[in-house]
């Protein structure tokens, strides 16, 4: 049974655009997770982080700037995202701007929050100097008893704010969320990453639009499925370097790369209705670069006619463009119709198991004896490679150390032969394999290669 889970009390940050919500979010979590920029409307989706105060942990949600009754699609979707965040929260931080003073939109947001019947703390932001605190009193007219002056840039007042949050949220015992599979969803803009995440989560977790560049931040979602925990990260579309024009887009790409680096499994999404390009291969290469397990999701499969020539072409193109990910399974899906979505978690579980697989030294050396008897190590210019023994030293990815007489004799083609036989004997589907070659002698010579 798939369900969204909150293991910690949830605190959400809401308010109109450009009042400093993302700056406050980053200050409370202690690092730059949410993108901060002077331009309006940078944050769109819900961005999650975690903070701790007085030995208590909380989930924190940053949301986009609210604007009611807007005809703009993105602004209307932001309103929907804020409603989701508030409804799932234990306490709401309503951020206003002391410099701009109380405006009509603040009053409209206050009216919306009163209807939700959640504990609300009004955070009067940009109180950077003692003189600025004089502007705080007018915000009591919003009708909330808890009004706290803060400076999200300098951190003034955040201690008082955190104390108040602890008082507002009753203490709960939660299971420590360590044993979960971290999944990053990567791809070019507009290939359907957010639609896939929304379909998996069963809710509009990310904003979806027909134009590219809708998702900017990397968006974390915690899920439970059949007793297993997952963290799914929807990322911004990654364009070619020369196509990135704004700072916001540049930060979005950095967030996507960070999501891939901290993941266990990368879901690389490509568009079946579009040509597979060098950029698709480059994005898929991110999973290889960070040594992550990988699945290729071919989305919008519903747009192709079954048994058409296009189907055969795209299957051949995938084999050609993703040769370096020969171990990665391919799933043909449709976020629109739900085609093959029931397979995704099964394949994730399977390749994560392979990503974490460990083989005993005894089995490995018995395996080594058999394959070297079948195909002896190469003889180069009269010098014979000797592999003394092999042992596995790590997982995620599976890492093997070979102790040899001369590392330069261990030719890449013979390493590829061993990798192929390893996969035949032990599995390792969906995961890269790392080899470390060590040479015994006065000076240790060590080489590393990954397949």
Q: 334 by DSSP, 3-state: which?
A: strand
Task: Identify whether residues 258 and 351 lie together within a single domain.
Answer: yes
Task: Establish how many alpha carbons lie within 13 A of residue 55's alpha carbon, considering only the half-sphere containing its beta carbon.
Answer: 1
Task: Identify whether residues 11 and 152 lie together within a single domain.
Answer: yes
Residue range 313-328: mean pLDDT, rounded: 90
Answer whether residue 95 shows pLDDT above 80. yes
Closest CA to 432 of 393, 410, 399: 399
Q: Which two tokens stand for residue 163?
A: 């104390």
Task: Identify whether residues 382 and 349 lie together within a single domain.
Answer: no
Is 173 contained in some domain? no
Task: Identify whether residues 150 and 241 lie together within a single domain.
Answer: no
- Which of 325, 355, 385 is at the close of a domain? 355
Is 147 contained in some domain? yes
Task: Identify whether residues 10 and 114 lie together within a single domain.
Answer: yes
Is 175 contained in some domain? no
Is 146 contained in some domain? yes
pLDDT bin (cut points 50, 70, 90) of residue 250 is low
More confident site: 299 or 244: 299
pTM of the full structure: 0.66
* CATH number for 316: 3.40.50.300
Q: Are 116 and 78 in contact (CB under 8 A)?
A: no
Helix (H) or strand (E) holding 384: strand 383-384
Is 174 contained in some domain? no
Name 62's Cβ contacts closer than 8 Å, sequence gap at least 6: 13, 21, 22, 25, 33, 34, 43, 46, 47, 48, 49, 217
Look at the chain and count its residues.
451
Cα–Cα separations (whole angstroms), residue 121 to 148, 165, 446? 7, 8, 58
Q: What is the pLDDT of residues 378-429, one digit of tens each?
A: 888 788 899 999 999 999 999 999 999 988 889 999 999 999 999 999 999 9
Task: Identify whether residues 246 and 201 lie together within a single domain.
Answer: yes
**57 lies in which domain range?**
2-168
* CATH number for 406: 3.30.300.20
pLDDT bin (cut points 50, 70, 90) of residue 46 is low
- Which of 142, 168, 194 is at the close of a domain? 168
How many domains does the chain divide into?
Answer: 3
Residue 323: how many other CB atoms lie within 10 Å: 9
Q: Which two tokens stand for residue 300?
A: 């919008």
Task: Identify whether residues 205 and 252 lie together within a single domain.
Answer: yes
Q: Is the dihedral of CA 163, 165, 170, 176 positive or negative?
A: negative
Task: Identify whether residues 240 and 343 lie together within a single domain.
Answer: yes
Is 55 contained in some domain? yes
Task: Identify whether residues 295 and 333 lie together within a single domain.
Answer: yes
Output phi, psi for 89, to 5 deg: -95, 150
Q: Which two tokens stand for residue 354?
A: 């392979």
- Which of 113, 133, 168 is at the close of a domain? 168
Q: Is the dihedral of CA 308, 312, 313, 314 positive or negative?
A: positive
Instruction: Work out the mean pLDDT of the chain and round it to a whole number.
Output: 81
Is 258 contained in some domain? yes
Task: Identify whether residues 243 and 312 lie together within a single domain.
Answer: yes
pLDDT bin (cut points 50, 70, 90) of residue 239 is low
Task: Identify whether residues 276 and 339 lie together within a single domain.
Answer: yes
Is 80 contained in some domain? yes
Task: Identify whether residues 24 and 118 lie together within a single domain.
Answer: yes
What is the pLDDT, as a whole number, of residue 206? Answer: 44
């Amino acid at each position: 049974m798939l369900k969204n889970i909150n293991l910690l009390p949830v605190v959400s940050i809401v308010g109109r655009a450009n009042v400093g919500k993302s700056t406050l979010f980053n200050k409370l979590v202690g690092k730059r997770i949410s993108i901060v920029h002077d331009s309006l409307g940078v944050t769109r989706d819900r961005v999650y982080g975690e903070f701790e105060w007085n030995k208590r942990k909380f989930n924190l949600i940053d949301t986009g700037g609210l604007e009611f009754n807007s005809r703009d699609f993105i602004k209307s979707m932001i309103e929907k995202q804020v409603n989701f965040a508030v409804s799932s929260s234990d306490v709401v931080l309503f951020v206003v701007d002391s410099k701009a003073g109380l405006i009509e939109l603040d009053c409209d947001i206050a009216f919306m929050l009163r209807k939700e019947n959640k504990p609300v703390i009004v955070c009067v932001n940009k109180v950077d100097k003692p003189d600025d605190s004089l502007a705080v009193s007018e915000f009591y007219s919003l009708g909330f008893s808890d009004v706290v002056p803060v400076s999200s840039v300098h951190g003034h007042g955040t201690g008082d704010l955190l104390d108040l949050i602890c008082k507002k949220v009753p203490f709960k015992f939660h299971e420590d969320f360590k044993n979960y599979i971290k999944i990053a969803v990567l791809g070019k803009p507009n290939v359907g990453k957010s639609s896939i995440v929304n379909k998996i989560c069963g809710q509009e977790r990310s904003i979806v639009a027909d134009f590219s560049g809708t998702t900017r931040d990397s968006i974390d979602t915690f899920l439970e499925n059949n007793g297993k925990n997952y963290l799914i990260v929807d990322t911004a579309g990654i364009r070619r370097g020369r196509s990135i024009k704004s700072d916001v887009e540049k930060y979005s790409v950095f967030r996507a790369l960070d999501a891939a680096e901290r993941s266990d499994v990368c879901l690389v999404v490509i568009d079946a209705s579009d040509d597979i390009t060098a950029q698709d291969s480059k994005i898929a290469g991110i999973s290889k670069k960070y040594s992550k397990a990988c699945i290729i999701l071919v989305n919008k499969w519903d747009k192709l006619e079954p048994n058409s020539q296009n189907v055969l072409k795209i299957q051949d193109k995938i084999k050609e463009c993703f040769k370096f990910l020969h171990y990665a399974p391919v799933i043909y899906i449709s976020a629109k119709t739900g085609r093959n979505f029931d397979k995704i978690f099964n394949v994730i579980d399977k390749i994560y198991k392979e990503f974490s697989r460990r083989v005993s030294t005894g089995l490995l050396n018995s395996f080594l004896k058999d394959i070297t008897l079948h195909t002896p190590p190469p003889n180069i210019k009269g010098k014979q490679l000797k592999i003394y023994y092999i042992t596995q030293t790590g997982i995620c990815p599976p890492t093997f150390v070979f102790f040899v007489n001369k590392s330069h004799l261990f030719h890449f083609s013979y390493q590829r032969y061993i990798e192929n036989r390893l996969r035949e004997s032990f599995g390792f589907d969906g995961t890269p394999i790392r080899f470390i070659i060590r040479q015994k002698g006065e000076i240790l010579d060590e080489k590393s290669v990954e397949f």
